[in-house]
């Protein structure tokens, strides 16, 4: 597992400054939750960390190595940083197992034979051992999202990013996906989550960062942020959503 450190990360789309000098430390094995209003820049920040968006300024350090230097090949870095989105994006014509094997085969050049045992172990670890041969339309939304998480884990990432991964799910399916995150935390995975699940963030996060207008306005342990927020913007947001 790896440590992540952002220093002064800035990102604009045209004249819309979406990340405005973000400093963030994520220690090895920590779960950090990004909360904040819609449009505050949570998704963009995660996309920048995964090098899906080039940053305009600042540094992104993964285990002490600057992964944001211009001209760096993003592909090997992305293989070290798993990301899961709100939409599961599984290929409908492939079984769950084939979806999971795709990236390790293409990026790491591994054979189906070599992947069979570790992929089976991943499905079993997350309670989907009997679903490997199912196609996405034979799975519930919660199961599809768990397969999407397994797909990211199959690349053996050092850190995992989650972008509102329960927002598209029916309420009764949210719990099983959050349980996967609890399990990963117990196993020591380093994780950054953009989430609207305040109860979950309060219960499980090591640190909560409140974003507003592209800046981390306030951060701290969940007990402090949720019980005694100091910043008026944090207070107003939590009053609205909790
Ligand atoms: N590819 C893009 N091109 C132009 N503008 C973008 C792009 N991606 C995001 N934005 C803008 O960046 C701002 C922040 O969006 P972002 O999705 O990061 O916020 P968010 O906090 O994740 O919101 P939500 O909670 O609704 O997902 C918004 O104004 C959005 O319109």
Q: List pLDDT tens digits, range 157-196.
A: 999 999 999 999 999 999 999 999 999 999 999 999 999 9
Helix axis angle for 96-108 and 112-125, nearest 10°, is 130
d(CA 55, CA 197): 27
Cα–ligand 1 centroid distance for 39 (angstroms):
5
Query: What is the distance between the alpha carbons of residues 38 and 188, in angstroms, rounded to a whole number?
Result: 29
Distance 42 CA to ligand 1 centre (A): 8
Confidence of residue 242 (pLDDT cuts 50, 70, 90): confident
Distance in angstroms (rounded) separating the CA atoms of residues 26 and 5: 6
- Protein residue with its CA nearest to atom 29 in ligand 1: 39
- What is the C-alpha separation between 34 and 32, in angstroms, rounded? 7
The pTM (predicted TM-score) of the whole model is 0.96
Residue partners of 210: CB distance under 8 A and separation at least 6: 35, 36, 216, 217, 218, 219, 225, 229, 231, 233, 234, 237
**pLDDT tens digits for 195-229?**
999 999 999 999 999 999 999 999 999 999 999 99
Which single residue is written with the structure tokens 């100091």? 230
Q: Within a 10 A sphere around the Cβ of 6, how many other Cβ atoms?
A: 23
Question: What spacing in Å lies between the alpha carbon of 40 and ligand 1's midpoint?
Answer: 7
Nearest atom, ligand 1, residue 164 CA? 27
Mean pLDDT of the chain: 96
Complex ipTM over 0.90:
yes
> Which residues have C-beta atoms less than 6 Å from ligand 1?
13, 16, 18, 36, 38-44, 164, 194
Percent of the chain at pLDDT > 70 equals 100
pLDDT at 191: 98
CA–centroid distance, residue 195 to ligand 1 (Å): 14
Q: What confidence score (pLDDT) does residue 1 get?
A: 80
Residue nearest ligand 1's atom 24 by CA: 38
């Amino acid at each position: 597992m790896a440590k992540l450190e952002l220093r002064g990360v800035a990102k604009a789309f045209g004249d819309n400054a979406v990340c405005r000098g973000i400093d963030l430390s994520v220690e090895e094995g920590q779960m950090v939750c990004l909360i904040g209003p819609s449009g505050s820049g949570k998704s963009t920040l995660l996309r920048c960390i995964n090098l899906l968006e080039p940053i305009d300024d600042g540094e992104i350090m993964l285990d002490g190595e600057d992964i944001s230097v211009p001209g760096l090949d993003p592909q090997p870095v992305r293989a070290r940083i798993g990301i899961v989105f709100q939409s599961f994006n599984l290929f409908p014509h492939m079984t769950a197992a084939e979806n999971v094997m795709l990236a390790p085969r293409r990026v790491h050049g591994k054979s189906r034979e070599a992947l069979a045992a570790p992929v089976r172990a991943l499905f079993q670890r997350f309670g989907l051992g009997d679903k490997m041969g199912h196609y996405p339309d034979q799975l519930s939304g919660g199961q599809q999202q768990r397969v999407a998480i397994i797909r990211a884990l199959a690349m053996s990432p050092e850190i995992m990013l989650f972008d509102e991964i329960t927002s598209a799910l029916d309420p009764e399916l949210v719990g099983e996906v959050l349980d996967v995150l609890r399990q990963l935390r117990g196993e020591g995975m380093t994780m950054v989550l953009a989430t609207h699940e305040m109860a979950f963030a309060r219960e499980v996060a090591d640190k909560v960062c409140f974003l507003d207008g592209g800046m981390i306005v306030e951060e701290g342990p969940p007990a402090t942020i949720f019980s005694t927020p100091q910043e008026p913007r944090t207070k107003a947001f939590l009053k609205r959503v909790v």
